[in-house]
């Protein structure tokens, strides 16, 4: 039992590290200084193969799909994208699957004071009519669990998204640097749900 709990805590710590990925790690500063205020400024910009590409299913449009590269043997990874609902009816992202992961979940990361929590979104992620929902570092995201292989920068992985109303669509997620952040992503410490 103790081993199972230690493994669970280790996996949780790896998941959080993967999703937040401080840019200071990439720069190898190692000086012990507080770099929290510089993370967004030093995050690697996205270099999507076609930043204007969009995938349509029903009234939903998916744009800017990417995942972050992982270290060898990492069991988890985060996936990010934006979903716009141009229809008159609400929809809901209820599942995601990929051949690279044993399973996938839709997660939410939140801050309550100084405590960060992360976990699956129960009953799927609402995509309200006429609104855009961003899955981004520090907020909602796709969680790849039980990775079959590392995610390598420059590659892509197909993810099938299942929506309650619009149905299924397969979208290629471009693998970016492990600290990649889209221009519109909320910086760490900011309310990840602002503007939703």
Q: How is 38-81 classified by DSSP, letter by letter? A: GHHHHSEEP--SSTT-EEEETTEEEEEEEEE---TT--EEEEEE
* 148 falls within a domain: yes
**Which pLDDT value is given to residue 42?**
59
**Residue of 67, 20, 64, 68 whose CA lies nearest to 178:** 68
* 140 falls within a domain: yes
* 7 falls within a domain: yes
CATH of the domain at 109: 2.60.40.1890
- The residues, any chain, with a CB within 8 Å of residue 64's CB and separated by 6 or more, are 46, 48, 51, 80, 81, 82, 182
**CA-CA distance, 107 to 125, in Å (whole number)?**
9
Q: Helical H runs in 108-165?
A: none
Q: What is the pLDDT along the chain (196 residues), one digit of tens a residue?
A: 544 444 444 444 445 444 544 333 333 333 333 333 334 445 677 788 787 899 999 999 999 999 999 998 899 999 999 999 999 999 999 999 999 999 999 999 888 888 888 889 999 999 999 999 999 998 999 999 999 999 999 999 999 999 999 999 999 999 999 888 765 554 444 333 322 2
* 194 falls within a domain: no
* 170 falls within a domain: yes
**Residue of 64, 71, 72 whose CA lies nearest to 137:** 64
Phi, psi of 184 (to 5 degrees): -90, 0
**Which pLDDT value is given to residue 23?**
34
Q: What is the DSSP letter of 143?
A: E
For residue 154, the enclosing domain spans: 2-181
* 193 falls within a domain: no
**Residue of 98, 121, 104, 105 whose CA lies nearest to 196:** 121
- How many domains does the structure of the chain reveal? 1
* 190 falls within a domain: no
* 195 falls within a domain: no
pTM recorded for the entire structure: 0.73
CB count within 10 Å of CB 191 equals 12
């Amino acid at each position: 039992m103790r081993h199972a709990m230690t493994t669970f805590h280790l996996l949780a710590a790896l998941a959080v590290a993967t999703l937040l990925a401080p840019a200071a790690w990439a720069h190898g500063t190692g000086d012990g200084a507080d770099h929290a205020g510089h993370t967004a400024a030093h995050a690697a910009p996205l270099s999507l193969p076609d930043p204007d590409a969009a995938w349509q299913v029903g009234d939903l449009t998916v744009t800017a799909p990417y995942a972050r590269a992982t270290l060898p043997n990492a069991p988890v990874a985060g996936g990010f994208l934006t979903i716009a609902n141009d229809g008159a009816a609400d929809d809901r992202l209820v599942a995601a699957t990929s051949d690279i992961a044993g399973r996938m979940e839709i997660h939410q990361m939140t801050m309550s004071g100084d405590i960060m929590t992360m976990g699956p979104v129960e009953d799927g992620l609402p995509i309200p009519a006429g609104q855009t929902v961003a899955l981004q570092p520090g907020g909602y995201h796709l969680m790849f669990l039980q990775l079959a292989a590392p995610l390598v920068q420059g590659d892509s992985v197909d993810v099938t998204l299942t929506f309650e109303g619009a149905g299924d669509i397969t979208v290629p997620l471009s693998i970016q640097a492990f600290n990649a952040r889209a221009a519109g992503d909320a910086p760490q410490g900011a309310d990840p749900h602002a503007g939703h």
